[in-house]
Chain A
Amino acid sequence: DAGVIQSPRHEVTEMGQEVTLRCKPISGHDYLFWYRQTMMRGLELLIYFNNNVPIDDSGMPEDRFSAKMPNASFSTLKIQPSEPRDSAVYFCASSPQRGRHTGELFFGEGSRLTVL
């Protein structure tokens, strides 16, 4: 399996622009998580989905952030409008609900966002 695939790996944009981050989870995984990592705050859970349904979005910082999962193989995290304080590495992770790796979290390589 190719693992969790995220794009873009790096994004540099200007304040006020819309940013869309993409994630393809591991095939067959039932859970998908979006995390944000910064030096100051470490890894923060933003939102997670179970079978494409958002379960907990209490970590989404503001209304500028939104996430969707239209099908089992694709999710997006959108920031509109972006601000410099959104600069961070955004990770997507997926997890199976059954089988040998039940409950184990697998991470993508992350999307490094810089907002100028």
Chain B
Amino acid sequence: KQEVTQIPAALSVPEGENLVLNCSFTDSAIYNLQWFRQDPGKGLTSLLLIQSSQREQTSGRLNASLDKSSGRSTLYIAASQPGDSATYLCAVRRVGNDMRFGAGTRLTVKP
């Protein structure tokens, strides 16, 4: 069974800092990996999708990398802003197509 772990569980940084969120998974036979953002009381918003054949994806200040062999992905956020405060979830989709989520990293960016 695929296990997805996110470290740290919570992170607080001052505005302007660059930061890295980590995601690890136990089964390297994945179809893709997706990073989401969730604001309190809201649904999940897709940030970046990395297919299993890709190494990284970028969108604006966000960059996500994937290393299947080591079972790891990182989400890099450059020049963090208070509006980036949210919970960030990593999800891994297996070849069998179901998607498993990590518990998330709760990010607070202080002005």
| A residues whose Cβ falls under 8 Å from a Cβ of B | 31, 33, 35, 42-43, 45, 48, 50, 55-56, 91, 93, 101-110
Contacts and interface: CB of A to CB of B under 8 A. Distances in A.
Secondary structure class of chain B's binding surface, majority of residues: strand
Nearest to A102: B51
A55 B51 CA distance: 22
Interface string B21-64: 00000000001101010000011111001010000000000000
Contacts of B34: 104-105
Nearest to B41: A112
B46 A91 contact: no
A56 B75 CA distance: 30
Contact of B89 (A31, A43, A106, A110): A43
A85 B42 CA distance: 21
Given A42-B101, A48-B97, A91 B51 contact: no
B57 to A, nearest CB: 11
Interface string B85-109: 0000101010011111111100000
Contacts of B103: 42
Given A91-B44, A104-B46, 9 more contacts: A33-B98, A42-B101, A42-B103, A48-B97, A56-B98, A103-B31, A103-B49, A104-B49, A109-B43
Contacts of A93: 44
A30 B45 CA distance: 19
A31 B104 contact: no
A103 B91 CA distance: 12
B108 to A, nearest CB: 18
